[in-house]
Structure 1
Amino acid sequence: MAETKAPVSLTSGRRNFRRRYVVGILVLLASLITAFVAKNGADAPSVQDYYGSLESRLGYWLLLGNTRHCGLYEKGQISPFPISTAQRAMEEKLYSRLGLEPGSKVLDAGAGSGYVAMYMARKGLNVQAIDITPHHLADARKVVTKNGLEDKVSIDYADYHDLSAFPDGSFDGIYTMETFVHADDPVKVLSNFYRLLKPGGVIVLHEADFSYNSQVLQDILRLSHCQNTLEEGGYEELVANAGFKDYSLEDLTDEVLPMWRLFGVVGYVPYQLFKLLGIHYRFTNVMAGVETWLHWGEGRYISVRAVKP
């Protein structure tokens, strides 16, 4: 019987991941040294500090190809590969939740390296992308230009806590892809979003909440600048208080499990070593990946949607 070969895309995805992983192992010692210098595990880093750390920059490149959000999988799927295909599926989920017509103008509030903004542009939306991290902005401008989408995606420095540069009713939709959890003042941010939306405008927030609190969770949230992550049920009240209507929530926790299982498996041995040495707090992403996997079910990945009346 002829040997059955894995699909090219799956094989390629695994090969690319293995290549990045080998390179990552080679620089692990450098990362260890840098971690001692850069972080003491006791501070509350800024968003820029968190994303600018060597561990974060290496980890996002190594595991996610420099894209900074989860992938969406079929329920029950085991393999996380190809990761890029799952990430595009998550972007499609966000796009479908927005439900906007081609030509609509949207705000990408925390655009990272610009991959979500590019997906929305390819679907026909006009995107104003903002971020506060310098290397994110540089990456986003580079990939948007490389893909010839400058006419559909504008990229600017802006903090979603202060969006006074944009007039009232500027957008048909506003979305966050795992960035609202970084808000220092979630109430203020939602108030800004409400002001910037036209009547009938839509917000979609792909974020996390949690049902079980613990010291480990609070340490992870502090070290990744997510101190104001909401408890389960908190988004409905927050969104209603901001004036939005037609609230809906989709629980996507089961559909992101393959990626978090990968984080947990890949990081488990290094994490146990770091714990033995008492330095695990210096490796926020390794800690978050392993602990989230070990305590799966104590938090959720959710898609929140609401409309400005």
Structure 2
Amino acid sequence: MGGCLRQDVMQGGVLIAVMTNKSVTTPSVQEYYSSLESRLGYWLLLGNARHCEYWPPGTLWPFPIGCAQRDMEEKLWERLGIEKGSKVLDAGAGSGKVASYMAHKGLIIEVVDLTPLHVQQARRTIRDRKLEHKVSMRLGDYHDLADFNNGSFDGVYTMETFVHADESMKVLQNFYRLLRPAGVLLLHEAEFHWDSPLLQEVLRLSHCQNTLKQGSYEDMLRQTGFTDITVENYTDNVLPLWRLFGVIGSVPYGAMRLFDLDKRFTNVMTGVEAYRHWTQGRYISIRAVKPDSRD
């Protein structure tokens, strides 16, 4: 563990967990996603997608995974609940598959991602699917969206990227500013309740230190000014994927731990430990609305 410590701090009036250790360097988001392990793992297991899939509760056989990916993207579209032709910000687009799905549904998508590899892959995805007229993208950080005007978007969504935020309230305030009155914010994210040093190390290595406790999303959204907040729990729906990770990764992970190599293979470590501690977290879809100034 290298002496990695957990510290509870207040951010915008909400208790969150962060890792503190001056002797430990936390990998950046770019480093995490650009590593050879991440690139190979996402390509081989998820077809280069960067998000969880959606299955009916109780599903044991997770294949074909691609169909479950589309089902999760359909959930995102349904939960957004905005009209075709609306302009939407995809904050952290990965390989661009979610943005392309939203574009096929008739939305106009602006993509921001801070990992150069992701921007390259997303551009390739959009070009291959001939969606350049509906999707534009740029290298950028959702902590700093000053180049977008107030009220630029009808909707904003994240698909498992808000968990990487270093300053949660700042990001939510950015989203709030960018939304038009009655605009919709939708976050598909995980909540963690991992208190052990080992599990905190998993979060650090995958740059998921934005470890919000259950209920914190709702509190932070209210403080930012959002209303009409609703939450759907998809924990049972994403379990088949993490069960797969836990099963196929258990043997190599055991060998890695034996030779003290587990921290070099972050995704294997994350997959196995997440499945072993499945009851200590949730996967949720949380929707919030910016109040209409006319109300």
Paired residues in the alignment total 269
Q: Secondary structure at the match of 2:27?
A: coil
Judging by fraction of residues, say which structure has more helix: 1
Confirm or deny that 1:133 pairs with 2:115. Answer: yes
Q: Distance in 2 between matches of 1:212 and 1:228?
A: 12
TM-score norm. by structure 1 comes to 0.86
Deviations along 1:228-276, one digit per CA (max 9) or x if unpaired, are: 1201111111111111001111110000010001111111110000011
| Aligned counterpart, 1:12 | none
Q: Distance in 2 between matches of 1:203 and 1:237?
A: 15
Q: Which runs of 5+ in 2 are unaligned?
A: 1-22
Q: Which amino acid aligns with 2:272?
A: V
**207-216 vs 75-84, which moves further:** 207-216
1:194-209 equivalence runs, <5 A: 194-209=176-191
Q: Which of 231, 254, 259 is matched with 2:241 structurally?
A: 259
| Aligned counterpart, 2:219 | 237
| Aligned counterpart, 2:15 | none
Q: Distance in 1 between matches of 2:258 and 2:194?
A: 26
Confirm or deny that 1:307 pairs with 2:271. Answer: no
| Aligned counterpart, 2:138 | 156
| Aligned counterpart, 1:297 | 279
1:80 deviates by 1.0
| Aligned counterpart, 1:179 | 161
Q: Distance in 1 between matches of 2:131 and 2:49?
A: 17
Please say if residues 47 and 133 of structure 1, whose CA atoms lie closer than 8 Å, have aligned partners that are also in contact.
Answer: yes
| Aligned counterpart, 1:99 | 81
Confirm or deny that 1:56 pairs with 2:27. Answer: no
| Aligned counterpart, 2:10 | none
Q: Distance in 2 between matches of 1:63 and 1:283?
A: 15
Judging by fraction of residues, say which structure has more strand: 2
Q: Which runs of 5+ in 1 are unaligned?
A: 1-40
| Aligned counterpart, 2:268 | 286
TM-score norm. by structure 2 comes to 0.90
1:177 deviates by 0.1
Larger Rg: 1
CA RMSD of aligned residues (A): 1.1
